[in-house]
Structure 1
Amino acid sequence: MSDAVDALIRDLSDRDREVRRAAEDGLVALGARSVDRLLPYVRDERRDSPRFGAESVLKRLGDQALPRLREIRRHGPGHLRGKALEALVELGGAEALDDADRRAVERLVRIKLLDEGRVELPLDAGRWLAFPADRLDDAVSALGLHDLRPATVVTGVEAATRAADSLEFEDSRGEKQTAYRVFITPEFDNWRGDPPTGKWRLVWGNAFVDECDGFLLADRLSERCGEAHFYVIDPYHSGSLWYVARDGRRVRSYGTYDYPEFRGEPLPFEVSYIEDAANGIDEEYAEGVSDAGIAADHLSVEPGPMPIEDTHGHGWLATTHPDAPNARFKGALPI
């Protein structure tokens, strides 16, 4: 059996797609007996590693693999325990962990939060909301969020913009629902605005923003928080959008593909740009600021590296449905 399994694992790296597929099928047919031999290749970065084939087999095994993975976590072998933890979360979410592992992960998150250091919010996530930091409870209520969990920025951004950030499931009444993961950042100072605009939190969640409409979400946030913003930076289509709502209504917006592009009266921070354009400097700003990054820098916070001295508290990872806690979302996340 051992030689046969070794041969199948070698075939996972074969150049012939049919050979690779047959090897996967053979390992899946072995069920949980193949788990120990596959785990060493999970997230294996070596060039000739059968990593992707091994991870595909584990994914196809799904729930069949969970009991053996839990057994490895408790009883070893020791060199596979770390990989078993990753595989458990990848296949079943945090729900697949036993109480001891769940507590261990929570302790690790708390330790990381104590020394998170300088954080960076990536622009490649593309779209986000902003609200005054002192209105966190109001924002949570306005967005209908549940199961708030402390999270590092690395975890939150990955969960809400790159990993599987939506989940289809049946609720307690047996009805089909979709839940989304949402990340609320720590508090960030804005000293660059004129005048400074205080502390802000940002909201990330690509599927959530796309499905629920960022404009409507900004309006809802502003009803409860007084003011809220929605920003989009789309380098692939040379697009830029920013939207400011106060007390539930838009006061100013710009959109590359809107007609007209500008709506509402110019905000105070735009005045100097408009005056410069009138004097022949940066004439693209004749009607106002069209760059969402510049607008965010003045109005709230522009994503990018955040100075430690301007960062306060920690972020929160949440979901949008009470029957779909964070633990139900599958996939291992960085901490």
Structure 2
Amino acid sequence: MPDRVDALLRDLTGEDRGARRAAAPLLADLGAPVVERLLPLCADGASRYSPAESVLHRIGEAALLPLREVRRRGPGRLRRTALRLLVDLGGAECLAEADRRAVERLVRIRLAEEGDVRLPSDAGRWLAFPADRFDDAVAALDLHGLTPATVAMGVAAATAAENSREFRDAQGATATAYRVFITPEFENWQHEGPGRMWRLVWGDSFVDELDGFTLADRLSRRCGEAHFYGIDPYHSAENWYVSREGRGVRGYSTYADPPFFGDPLPFEAGEDEDSEGTVHASTAAFLLSVEPGPMSAHGTRGHGWLATTRPEVPLDRFRGALPV
């Protein structure tokens, strides 16, 4: 057995692509006993998509117990990697209580230090609502288990890590829970008085599967006004949509026919006279609410929140280690 594992590990880390591909499933079939041998190949600084990490993902739940043992007993140089992989493979619910407390303490420290932040600006989809209607927004979107989160943590949770999970509800039917991030309050320098501070909502699966336009209408019924924005450079597509009191009043979608609907809003008055209105989601966001990108600490208030859409699936059940 040791000789076979040594040979497979050599193949897994060698230059021969065919040998690497052949070794991966064979190592995965060996299960828990090879986890500690794979860990040094996944150490921080190595690629997050290394062949060794791929094998651990194939092993799946069977890897959790040996990873917990490394957290408890060491070796020390692998404990940090084991922590990350525990969350990647099983979610934060797999962590020991001491590790949970340590992570929560780190988040509190990072929140106190959080300064300038960056939101994805070259692609993505998001919602916006007036910051003073936070409680209404939480109710409108039926969010649960709100937990403080840094912007880096929240954006990764809602866009890069697992942000939807299927489960069986009380009636035994298949249902889906989504992980959602609500940003801190950001200032819109174009506005004076009410409407100056906005929060954004990120959650790729949430927005895609429940429809950003519909979600904006839900938000605006409770918040008075809400927006949906989408930028898809791969398909050269842009969307922006303004909903007030539960009804869309103006919007643009690249591939809709016609692309505009509703009467032009005051912010569009400066557009070229040959244009029907604003076609860029980032421009609409900049003038109506908040344009993602670099966000100054000077124009930011409070902190962000992670939430789940179903109380049956708490946040610690979503997989994926997050930057803090």
Q: TM-score, normalised by structure 1?
A: 0.91
CA distance 1:194–1:134, shift in 2 (3 Å): closer
Partner Cα distance (1:21, 1:129) in 2: 42
Q: Find 2:266's aligned residue among 258, 265, 268.
A: 268
Q: Which amino acid aligns with 2:197?
A: K
1:217 corresponds to which residue?
Answer: 215
Please say if residues 12 and 54 of structure 1, whose CA atoms lie closer than 8 Å, have aligned partners that are also in contact. yes
1:39 corresponds to which residue?
Answer: 39
Partner Cα distance (2:148, 2:187) in 1: 20
2:197 corresponds to which residue?
Answer: 199
Partner Cα distance (2:188, 2:75) in 1: 50
Q: Does 1:187 align with 2:176?
A: no
Q: Which amino acid aligns with 1:37?
A: R
Q: CA RMSD in A?
A: 2.0
2:299 corresponds to which residue?
Answer: 310
Please say if residues 125 and 161 of structure 1, whose CA atoms lie closer than 8 Å, have aligned partners that are also in contact. no
Q: Find 2:53's aligned residue among 52, 55, 58.
A: 55
1:160 corresponds to which residue?
Answer: 158
Structure 2 unaligned segments of length 5 or more: list them: none
CA distance 1:292–1:125, shift in 2 (3 Å): closer
Q: TM-score, normalised by structure 2?
A: 0.93
Q: Does 1:298 align with 2:296?
A: no
1:23 corresponds to which residue?
Answer: 23
1:119 corresponds to which residue?
Answer: 117
Partner Cα distance (1:45, 1:328) in 2: 26
After TM superposition, the runs of 4+ consecutive aligned structure 1 residues lying more than 4 A away are 15-18, 43-46, 193-196
CA distance 1:288–1:18, shift in 2 (3 Å): closer
Partner Cα distance (2:142, 2:48) in 1: 43
Three-state SS of the structure 1 residue aligned to 2:50 is helix
CA distance 1:51–1:254, shift in 2 (3 Å): closer
5 Å-filtered alignment, 1:67-78, equals 67-78=65-76
TM-aligned CA deviation for residue 138 of structure 1: 0.7
Q: Which amino acid aligns with 1:312?
A: R
Partner Cα distance (2:49, 2:239) in 1: 40
CA distance 1:4–1:142, shift in 2 (3 Å): same
Please say if residues 123 and 230 of structure 2, whose CA atoms lie closer than 8 Å, have aligned partners that are also in contact. no
Partner Cα distance (2:300, 2:48) in 1: 42
5 Å-filtered alignment, 1:128-143, equals 128-143=126-141
TM-aligned CA deviation for residue 50 of structure 1: 11
CA distance 1:195–1:258, shift in 2 (3 Å): farther
CA distance 1:306–1:176, shift in 2 (3 Å): same
CA distance 1:43–1:160, shift in 2 (3 Å): farther
CA distance 1:294–1:52, shift in 2 (3 Å): same
1:329 corresponds to which residue?
Answer: 318
5 Å-filtered alignment, 1:142-153, equals 142-153=140-151
Please say if residues 28 and 57 of structure 1, whose CA atoms lie closer than 8 Å, have aligned partners that are also in contact. yes
Partner Cα distance (1:181, 1:164) in 2: 8
Partner Cα distance (2:113, 2:123) in 1: 24
Partner Cα distance (2:297, 2:58) in 1: 43
Q: Find 1:91's aligned residue among 89, 105, 108.
A: 89
Comparing 129-138 and 168-177, the one that deviates more: 168-177
CA distance 1:213–1:327, shift in 2 (3 Å): same
Structure 1 unaligned segments of length 5 or more: list them: none
